[in-house]
Chains A and B, each alone.
Chain A
Amino acid sequence: MSAEAVSVKFQGLAALSDVNLTVLRGEVVGLIGPNGAGKTTLVNCLTGFQRPTTGRVIVAREDTAGWAPPRFRKAGVARTFQAGRLFRDMTVAENVEVTGVGLGLDRKTAHAQAMVMLDWLGIADKADRTAGTLAYTDERRVGIARALVIPPAFVLMDEPAAGMSDAEGEELISLVTSIPGKFGCGVLIIEHNMRVIMNVSTRLYVLDGGRILAGGTPAEVQANPAVISAYLGADI
C-alpha cells in the first residue's frame, strides 16, 4: 500500500504536505516524528478515516478514493488506535468477533478465530470480561487482536506500546516484530521510543511538520544530517 503525494488541509492549515510513503507486505515500517508532525493524520488517510485533500492512497494497486469504510478492511487494511476505542459494553471476545462477522464469518467460526488471537496475545483468560473493565495495557492487546483476526494484508499501529512499562512494551514489540512472519502482513508502526523503533523497523520514515523529512533503513536515517538537526537533536 502507498500514499502518493498526499496532502491534508484542515481549514487551510496543512497537516500533511505532499507525503509519499510505501508499505510492502512482510516488512515492518516505522513512522516517527515529533508531536503534531501529522503521524496520526497520515495513518487516518491510509485507513480511510480521513480523506486526503489532494493525492491518492493506493491499496493493492487500487485507488481508494470513494471507498466506503468497510471496503478498507475487506481489502485488508486494519489498524489499532492510541486510545483503544473498544466496544466497552461488549465482552473482550465479542470485540474481536465483530471483525469476523463483519467480514461474513458465522458466529461460531468468528468466536474460534477470536480465541486463537486472544490466546496468542496472552489474554484468553479475559475473554468473557466486559471490555470497559480492562486495564489500559490489555485494552491495547484487544485492539491488536481485533485488527489482526482474519489476517489483514496491512496493519497500522498507532503507538501500541504507549503507557506500558518497559517490560510490557518490550514484550509487545517482540509480538509486533513477529507479525509479518506469522500473518504475512505489512506493518506500519508509530512509536515514540527511538530505541524500540530502530530495532523493530526494516525501514522508517521521519515526519516533521507534515512533510517526510527522511526515509530509509534505521542506519541511514540515524546518519541523515537533516534528521539529526531537526528532530533527534545533537544528543545522538
Chain B
Amino acid sequence: MISLIQNLIDALSLGSLYALVALGIGLLFGILRLINLAHGDFITVGAYALIVPSTEAVAQLAIGGFHPILLLPSIALIVVILALLTDALVFRPLRRAAQPSLMIASFAVSYIIQNGLILIYGARPKNLNLWPALTGQIALGELRLPTLQIVTIVTTLVLMIGLALFLKRTSYGVQMRAAAEDFRMARYLGVRGNLVIGMAFAISGVLAAVVSLLFLSQTGSLETGLGVPLALFGLVAVVIGGMGSLVGAVVGGFLVGAIVTLLQAYLPVEMRSFRDAFAFAFVIVILLWRPSGLIRAKAFDQRV
C-alpha cells in the first residue's frame, strides 16, 4: 500500500513536469500551429542562467545564489526574453511559412541554443545543488514524501489554475483563446496578432523557467541537452492529449508521467533499461485507439 502511494506521488510529480512542458508547447501550437522543438532549450537556458558564465568545470552560482523571491522572477525574465527574441528574430519573419518550415526552424533554434551554451559554458556536465533544503522528506505516518515532489506538484497546480484563470477571465486571455481557435477570424475582429503571439511566447517562457528550476533541483546536474528529453515527452503529451487542446496537454502530461513511473516501478528489473521503449509503445497504442488524441478541440473538427 505504502509503495503504491509512493509510486502515485512519483507519477504525479513527474506528470506535473511533463504537463508544464506540454502546456508550454501546446500554447504555441494552439496559436501559431508551431511545434516548438526549441522549448526544451528554453528550459536548459533557464537552468544555465543560474550560474556564472564560464567554461570552468565547477559551477559558481550567480542568479542561483539569490533569494528565491528574486531568483524566480530573474530566471523567468531571462527565459521570457529568450522566447520573445526567438519569436522576433526567427518566427515573426516566417509568419506566413508552412507548418513544417516552422518546425524545422525551431529545430535549428534548438541547435543554435545548445551550441551557444557549449560555447559559453563548455560541454562538460556540471554539478549544481540548487535549494538543498528541498531534498528532504516530509513524514506522514509511515509515508515519507520527498519535499521536492510535493513542491513540484503544488507549483504545477498553482500555475495551471493561474493560467486557466488568465485565459478565462482576462481580456488578453479571451483574445488568445479566440486566436487559438481561428487566428485569421480573430484578427478580423480586431485582435492584434503579434500581441497575442507575444503573450503566448512569454507564458511559454515562464512555464519553461519554472520547469528548469524544478527539474534542476531534482537532477542537480547541468548539461547542455538537459531540456531535450523533457521537450520530447512534452511533445508526446501534447499529441496524445489532443493537438490544440490545453486541457489535453495537461492530461497527456500526467498520463505520460504515470506510464513512465509505473513502468519504472513494475517492469522486471532486467527490462527497466528499455522503459522508454515500452512507454512509447503505449503511446502508439493510445494513438491507434484515438488518432486525434484524447481530447479533441472543436476548432480542429472538420467543418461541413
Interface residues of A (CB under 8 A from B): 47-49, 68-70, 72-74, 79, 83, 85, 87-90, 94-95, 97-99, 101-103, 105-107, 110, 130, 132, 146
On whether the beta carbons of B189 and A98 are closer than 8 Å, the reply is: yes
Task: Choose among A48, A88, A94, A130 the residue that contacts B188 (Cβ–Cβ < 8 A).
Answer: A48
Per-position 1/0 for B87-100, Cβ under 8 A of A:
00000000000000
On whether the beta carbons of A88 and B181 are closer than 8 Å, the reply is: yes
CA distance A6 to B143 in the complex (A): 75
Contact size range, B:
20 to 34
Say yes or no: is B298 at the interface (Cβ < 8 Å to chain A): yes
The 10 sampled A-B contact pairs (Cβ below 8 Å) are A70-B192, A83-B303, A94-B174, A97-B171, A101-B171, A101-B191, A102-B175, A102-B186, A105-B171, A132-B301
The 10 A-B residue pairs with the shortest CB-CB distance, nearest first, are: A102-B190, A101-B171, A69-B187, A88-B298, A102-B191, A73-B190, A87-B181, A98-B178, A132-B298, A107-B171
A77's closest neighbor in chain B, by CB?
A: B188
The B147-178 residues at the A interface (CB cut-off 8 A) are 169-172, 174-175, 177-178
On whether the beta carbons of A107 and B297 are closer than 8 Å, the reply is: no
Q: Which residues of A contact B187 (CB under 8 A)?
A: 68-70
CA distance A97 to B168 in the complex (A): 12
A90's closest neighbor in chain B, by CB?
A: B177
On whether the beta carbons of A89 and B299 are closer than 8 Å, the reply is: yes
B245's closest neighbor in chain A, by CB?
A: A89
With A85-B182, A88-B181: A98-B191 Cβ-Cβ less than 8 Å? yes
CA distance A103 to B303 in the complex (A): 28
**Which of B181, B184, B186, B193: most chain A CB closer than 10 A?**
B181
A106's closest neighbor in chain B, by CB?
A: B171
On whether the beta carbons of B186 and A98 are closer than 8 Å, the reply is: yes
CA distance A99 to B174 in the complex (A): 10
Min Cβ gap A99→B in Å is 5
A83's closest neighbor in chain B, by CB?
A: B303
CA distance A88 to B187 in the complex (A): 16
Chain B binding surface SS class: helix
Q: Which residues of A contact B170 (CB under 8 A)?
A: 107
Task: Choose among B189, B192, B301, B303 the residue that contacts A99 (Cβ–Cβ < 8 A).
Answer: B189
On whether the beta carbons of A73 and B185 are closer than 8 Å, the reply is: no
B297's closest neighbor in chain A, by CB?
A: A89
With A87-B299, A88-B299, A107-B169: A102-B181 Cβ-Cβ less than 8 Å? no
A73's closest neighbor in chain B, by CB?
A: B190
Per-position 1/0 for B198-239, Cβ under 8 A of A:
000000000000000000000000000000000000000000
On whether the beta carbons of B178 and A87 are closer than 8 Å, the reply is: yes
Q: Which residues of B contact A94 (CB under 8 A)?
A: 174, 177-178
On whether the beta carbons of A69 and B188 are closer than 8 Å, the reply is: yes
On whether the beta carbons of B174 and A101 are closer than 8 Å, the reply is: yes
CA distance A105 to B175 in the complex (A): 12
On whether the beta carbons of A98 and B174 are closer than 8 Å, the reply is: yes
Q: Which residues of B contact A107 (CB under 8 A)?
A: 169-171, 174
On whether the beta carbons of A102 and B169 are closer than 8 Å, the reply is: no
A47's closest neighbor in chain B, by CB?
A: B188
B172's closest neighbor in chain A, by CB?
A: A101
On whether the beta carbons of B189 and A146 are closer than 8 Å, the reply is: yes
CA distance A47 to B187 in the complex (A): 12
A94's closest neighbor in chain B, by CB?
A: B174
On whether the beta carbons of B298 and A89 are closer than 8 Å, the reply is: yes
Additional 16 contacts, C-beta under 8 A, given A69-B193, A95-B178 = A47-B188, A49-B184, A68-B187, A69-B184, A69-B187, A70-B190, A87-B182, A87-B186, A88-B181, A97-B174, A101-B191, A102-B175, A102-B178, A102-B191, A106-B171, A146-B189
